[in-house]
Amino acid sequence: MKIYLLSVLAFVLFISCKTDPNKQVDEGQVVENTYHSKEIGWTIEIPEGWNVTQLDESQAFEDKGLKAINEANGIDYDTSGLKQLIGFQKDKFHMFGASSEKFEIEYEGEYEENKKLVKQVLYNTYVSNGIKVDTVSSKARIDNLDFDLFKITVYDPNGKVLLYQDLYSRLINGLEFGVNLNYINEKEKNELMRVWKNSKFE
């Protein structure tokens, strides 16, 4: 089973990074306020006032999400092939993250099956941890490429919206490319959507 672990229990606090941003990515390069991934052929602007996420904090966050996923679903998923691309955030509720993982298709329809399985696993993880969520699946187009979009709304115990989480995914160059947008406020959501929708693919 292949799962893109973009974010689970996404209200965990990231620590912002003010050091060399090129030391905070597994692949690609940051030049001034722009990130480029050669493997994906993708370029995105890092918005002004948003800080690149430290790689060790991304790893700690990934480990916590992986533990939650494995425990909730009775699986033992290995993320050793997962690459953290660019991540940046305004605060713990407003963040952007991108990752990639090699995906070798072994039979027709495997990728579609995997997408359904991923959505179920993520939903089960939230519910098993006593967190109420609503989910919606749709499609989105970014720079003339079609993405699968899985929207998650996370609620607090009183039914108030705690977080919106938009997860985009598609195959590019033999890699599962995933992007995660977390937000609660309209202003920050609009800024995230601006840079994401204006990003470019070769």
**Is pLDDT above 90 for 175?**
yes
Is the pLDDT at 15 greater than 50? The verdict is: no
3-state secondary structure of 96: strand
State the pLDDT confidence band at 114, using cuts at 50, 70 and 90: confident
Per residue in 136-149, pLDDT tens? 999 999 999 999 99
Query: pLDDT confidence of 56, banded at 50, 70, 90?
Result: low
Q: How sure is the predictor about 83, in pLDDT bands with cuts at 50, 70 and 90?
A: confident
* Residues written for the chain: 202
Domain boundaries, the chain: 16-201
The pLDDT value recorded for residue 8 is 40
- pLDDT at residue number 9: 39
Least-confidence region, from 10-14, 90-94, 125-129, 151-155: 10-14
| CATH 3.30.420.340 correct for 16-201 | no
